[in-house]
Chains A and B, each alone.
Chain A
Amino acid sequence: MKYNAIFAVIAACSFVISFVQSSVAEQVDVETLAAKLRAVGPKGEGHADASKAWQSLAQANAEQLPAVLAGMQGAGRLSENWFRAAVEAIAQRQVKQGGQLPVEALEGFLADTRQAPRARRLAYELIAGIDDSAEERLIPGLLNDPSLELRRDAVALALQNAAAEEKAGKKNEATDIYAKAFAAARELDQIKEASGKLKSFGQQVDVPRHMGFVMEWQLIGPFDNVDGKGFDVAYAPEKGIDLAATYEGKVGNVQWKQHRTSDEFGIVDLNEIFERPKDGNDYKLTDEHKGAVGYAFSKFESEQAREIEIRVGCINANKIWLNGELLTANQVYHAGMEVDQYVAHGQLKKGSNEILVKVCQNEQEESWAQRWQFQLRVCDELGTAVLAKN
């Protein structure tokens, strides 16, 4: 009995000490700790230091949340997740203990568009987690926000409001709101929804322009890609563009052809454009190309030198060059095709730029493996179209 009492006291003390240790927040040196988190790199680089720093940072008191969020400025994509976990740990502990979050300071942080977009988004989520009115109060003003996630919420709210006006029979008001939502939308599902509504109201909507799809191309092919070997072969277009030239292709001579796609999302279907092979006994007009390489070329006049993203959807293996520089190479066949499937970063120069696309079809026989197509758009990191002058 005596032992039991002693053990009970020891256990109780241990529990209290452990609880106090785990639940008492501290004033921590956010700047120093945040620097350790920002130093996280690929392949585990900086993990040991970051792991120690995280344990300390997560003990920060809730009043330091804006400072922790501010530490995300300059953080890479990996580091952002270390910050996020620390912010959540601090906030969840505070709320669990019945404490308050510094809502006013977080709202101030949210309003400061110089801060990192994801840090601001996280600040909003902390506010929204404890304040049911946050969406109504804060989101409508974020329709053109530099945070894609905040902007998305604002567009979603605008689409809801437009639908409500439409339902109430207020077509003009609905049209205005749909138009604003469309102009602000940067993500495909919202662009489709807004543009679809505007079209149904008889409005002119230019989706390719809004998204920055390249619609005018010079195309040449097919070149040989039997056994997938053509992916690594630098055919003539990779050595220099001569739109008047004739080259030996896979089944005879080939020349550049001008093509303008009419697809709203810029899809270029190479099976429809290149002549079918005529050397086989089983040739049919409906046969799809197999083991073939096609190239697409476009000139892009830019008013200024600037950074861009070239975003490609392609169901076939592909390579993209900008002004002769290989931006991305993806040796992947028939694993889906989506708008913005591959994102490459590039630098436009002022004046004339050259975009070259290589699209390689393999020889799979399955019905789902017959597509040979791509789509390409030029935009900034938010997805806002960067349009050519020409």
Chain B
Amino acid sequence: MSRSVTCLLAVLSVAFLCGADWLQFRGVNGASLSPDAAPPDSWSETNNVAWKANLPGRGASGPIVVDGRTYVTCSSGVKQDRLHVVCFDNRTGEEVWQREFWATGRTLTHPFSAVAAPTPASDGKRIFAFYSSNDLVCLDLDGNLLWYRGLAFDYPKAGNDIGMASSPVVVGETVVVQIENQGDSFAAGIDVATGETRWRVDRDRRANWVSPIAMPGKREGSRVVLLQSGSGLTAHDSMTGEELWRYDVPCSTTPSVAVSEDHIFIPANGLTVLKLAPDATVPSLAWDSSQLSPSPASPIVVGDRVYTMNSSGVLSCGDVATGDRLWQLRVGGKYWSTPVVAGDRMYCINSDGAAKVVQLGEKGEVVSSNEFSDEIKGSPAISGGALYVRSDRFLWKIARGS
């Protein structure tokens, strides 16, 4: 084997690994989508479960996957004031390392939620673990502490005793957090390398649980972060926080916005879809539909279809171009966790731990039902053809042939 071929293989394997990563809430671009993955349709304790690992605490956060390892946040203790970051080896399910911290902000939550409610995020080199207490921890992939921000320590009125849940997003060299509540309500862009605040903008003083999302900006290579709240959607420069545009519409405060190449899908008035402006200025209304209302799970866009799950467990499929509802399917249950799509399969895990696999197409069809027998609140991750699912007690890897 020549040196050039060896190098090429090395580069390709790195690219493959990176491509398989699930770096944040709802995965790559917040799309809840892994187009080429094919996790199994069905599983049981003895079939297609590669491993099941114990977790040290509770969590409504989802797992993320970076370079062959899965990272999970948990909170424990009677006051939920112990914050955990746990790293697992994807191949074996063994714990590689664990770090624990004392919360510096408020830790009261609704009993159903947990202080580990926001899904962590990664830039591929670092883990950004965020909690309802507004503690933001930055570790390298080996668990070494790079910096630690107590954002409620800095802004003591930041918090919500029902619990915060907004997940951070990494936008270029900035990790963006959205901390909206009745007290110190703001969004901030934190320098990924130093933990210093690049920008901070005041936000509506109302409780809000949605997560920010990134999208391409006007300039070549620039990135914009979208912040959704009850009064509307705002777009901000990720490096400065400057508000670039605002679209006034009464947005939901639970399901988060989704984006595609040329549209923004806002949980507002049912579902409000905006057409992006060619010059990246204020987008315009494409359509809205009360028949495609997502709650509390976020919408998912796959090609020319948009999928929403409502609070009664009814999955709707809409036409991205027209807003027409194409079909509905009663999947059943209450969904706090946003489903994920792999190929033509949607994995819907309700809060009772029942996982329904839905075949997507001209109509939707439930092709299997599987039980985790545990409450599931966090959205799963997909990586390397496997599904990673966490409850308050366990982390599962679901993979074919296990």
State whether A335 touches B104 (Cβ < 8 A): no
State whether B147 touches A81 (Cβ < 8 A): no
State whether A82 touches B148 (Cβ < 8 A): yes
A330 to B159, CA, bound (A): 11
Q: Give the chain A neighbours of B6 by CB distance below 8 A.
A: 4, 7
Q: Give the chain B neighbours of A77 by CB distance below 8 A.
A: 102, 104, 150, 153
A55 at interface (Cβ–Cβ under 8 A)? Answer: yes
Most buried by B among A51, A118, A152, A335: A335
Q: Give the chain B neighbours of A341 by CB distance below 8 A.
A: 108, 161
State whether A335 touches B162 (Cβ < 8 A): yes
A140 to B312, CA, bound (A): 50
Of the listed stretches A42-50, A207-215, A292-300, name the one at the interface; the rest are far from the partner chain: A42-50
A152 to B147, CA, bound (A): 30
Can you list, as one digit per residue, whether each of B56-83 has a CB less than 8 Å from chain A (1) or not (0)?
Answer: 0000000000000000000000110000
Of the listed stretches A83-91, A218-226, A237-245, name the one at the interface; the rest are far from the partner chain: A83-91
State whether B102 touches A84 (Cβ < 8 A): yes
Contacting residue for B145 out of A4, A44, A82, A92, CB 8 A: A82
Can you list, as one digit per residue, whether each of B155-167 has a CB less than 8 Å from chain A (1) or not (0)?
Answer: 0010011100000
State whether A80 touches B102 (Cβ < 8 A): yes
Most buried by B among A89, A118, A152: A89
A316 to B317, CA, bound (A): 42
A164 to B47, CA, bound (A): 42
State whether A88 touches B161 (Cβ < 8 A): no
State whether A42 touches B108 (Cβ < 8 A): no
State whether B1 touches A42 (Cβ < 8 A): no
A92 to B6, CA, bound (A): 35
Q: How far is the CB of B13 from chain A (nearest CB, A)?
A: 14
B219 at interface (Cβ–Cβ under 8 A)? Answer: no
State whether A85 touches B101 (Cβ < 8 A): yes
With A85-B101, A335-B161, A336-B162 in contact, is A44–B182 under 8 Å at CB? no
Q: Give the chain B neighbours of A54 by CB distance below 8 A.
A: 144-145
Residue of B nearest to A48 (CB): B194
A332 at interface (Cβ–Cβ under 8 A)? Answer: yes
Q: Give the chain A neighbours of B98 by CB distance below 8 A.
A: 88, 92
Interface residues in B94-124 (C-beta closer than 8 Å to A): 97-102, 104, 108, 110
Residue of A nearest to B146 (CB): A51
A63 at interface (Cβ–Cβ under 8 A)? Answer: no
With A81-B101, A118-B102 in contact, is A47–B147 under 8 Å at CB? yes
Can you list, as one digit per residue, whether each of A37-63 has a CB less than 8 Å from chain B (1) or not (0)?
Answer: 000101110011011001100100000
State whether B150 touches A336 (Cβ < 8 A): no
Can you list, as one digit per residue, whether each of B181-211 has a CB less than 8 Å from chain A (1) or not (0)?
Answer: 1110000000000111100000001010000
A331 to B197, CA, bound (A): 26
State whether A78 touches B182 (Cβ < 8 A): no
Q: How far is the CB of B139 from chain A (nearest CB, A)?
A: 8
State whether B194 touches A332 (Cβ < 8 A): no
With A77-B102, A81-B101, A341-B108 in contact, is A4–B150 under 8 Å at CB? no
State whether A187 touches B78 (Cβ < 8 A): yes
A4 to B182, CA, bound (A): 63
Q: Give the chain B neighbours of A44 by CB distance below 8 A.
A: 147, 149, 194-197
Q: How far is the CB of A46 from chain B (nearest CB, A)?
A: 10
B344 at interface (Cβ–Cβ under 8 A)? Answer: no
A124 at interface (Cβ–Cβ under 8 A)? Answer: no
A265 to B207, CA, bound (A): 28
With A54-B145, A189-B78 in contact, is A88–B100 under 8 Å at CB? yes
Q: Give the chain B neighbours of A89 by CB distance below 8 A.
A: 143-145
Contacting residue for B100 out of A4, A40, A84, A333, CB 8 A: A84
A338 at interface (Cβ–Cβ under 8 A)? Answer: yes
Contacting residue for A331 out of B3, B135, B148, B183, CB 8 A: B183
Q: Give the chain B neighbours of A19 by CB distance below 8 A.
A: none
B173 at interface (Cβ–Cβ under 8 A)? Answer: no
Residue of B nearest to A149 (CB): B77
Interface residues in A1-28 (C-beta closer than 8 Å to B): 3-4, 7, 22
Q: How far is the CB of A360 from chain B (nearest CB, A)?
A: 12
Q: Give the chain A neighbours of B195 by CB distance below 8 A.
A: 44, 47, 51
Q: How far is the CB of A251 from chain B (nearest CB, A)?
A: 27
A12 to B100, CA, bound (A): 33
B154 at interface (Cβ–Cβ under 8 A)? Answer: yes
With A189-B78, A335-B160, A335-B162 in contact, is A58–B154 under 8 Å at CB? no
Interface residues in B337-386 (C-beta closer than 8 Å to A): none
A58 to B104, CA, bound (A): 22
B44 at interface (Cβ–Cβ under 8 A)? Answer: no
With A78-B148, A330-B157 in contact, is A47–B194 under 8 Å at CB? yes
Q: Give the chain B neighbours of A40 by CB distance below 8 A.
A: 148
Can you list, as one digit per residue, whether each of B1-15 has a CB less than 8 Å from chain A (1) or not (0)?
Answer: 111001000000000
Residue of A nearest to B191 (CB): A44
State whether B207 touches A42 (Cβ < 8 A): no
Q: Give the chain A neighbours of B142 by CB distance below 8 A.
A: 22
Q: How far is the CB of B160 from chain A (nearest CB, A)?
A: 6
A336 to B160, CA, bound (A): 9
State whether B182 touches A335 (Cβ < 8 A): yes
Most buried by B among A42, A80, A118: A42
State whether A88 touches B99 (Cβ < 8 A): yes
A40 to B149, CA, bound (A): 10
With A47-B194, A187-B78 in contact, is A336–B104 under 8 Å at CB? no
State whether B97 touches A92 (Cβ < 8 A): yes
Residue of A nearest to B2 (CB): A3
Q: Give the chain B neighbours of A82 by CB distance below 8 A.
A: 145, 148
State whether A338 touches B183 (Cβ < 8 A): no
State whether B148 touches A81 (Cβ < 8 A): yes
A1 to B181, CA, bound (A): 64
State whether B101 touches A4 (Cβ < 8 A): no
With A7-B6, A77-B150 in contact, is A336–B196 under 8 Å at CB? no
With A77-B150, A82-B148, A89-B144 in contact, is A336–B197 under 8 Å at CB? no
Residue positions of A touching B, CB distance < 8 A:
3-4, 7, 22, 40, 42-44, 47-48, 50-51, 54-55, 58, 77-78, 80-82, 84-86, 88-89, 92, 118, 152, 187, 189, 330-333, 335-336, 338, 341
Q: A42-B150, A44-B194, A152-B78 are in contact. List 19 more A-B contacts (CB 8 A).
A: A42-B154, A44-B149, A44-B195, A47-B194, A50-B147, A51-B146, A51-B147, A78-B150, A81-B102, A84-B102, A85-B139, A85-B145, A86-B145, A92-B143, A330-B157, A330-B183, A331-B182, A332-B181, A336-B162
Residue positions of B touching A, CB distance < 8 A:
1-3, 6, 78-79, 97-102, 104, 108, 110, 135, 137, 139, 142-150, 153-154, 157, 160-162, 181-183, 194-197, 205, 207
What would 8 A/B residue contacts be, using CB atoms closer than 8 Å?
A: A47-B147, A78-B148, A81-B148, A81-B150, A89-B143, A332-B182, A335-B162, A336-B162
8 nearest interchain CB pairs?
A336-B161, A85-B145, A332-B182, A44-B196, A81-B101, A42-B154, A335-B161, A77-B104
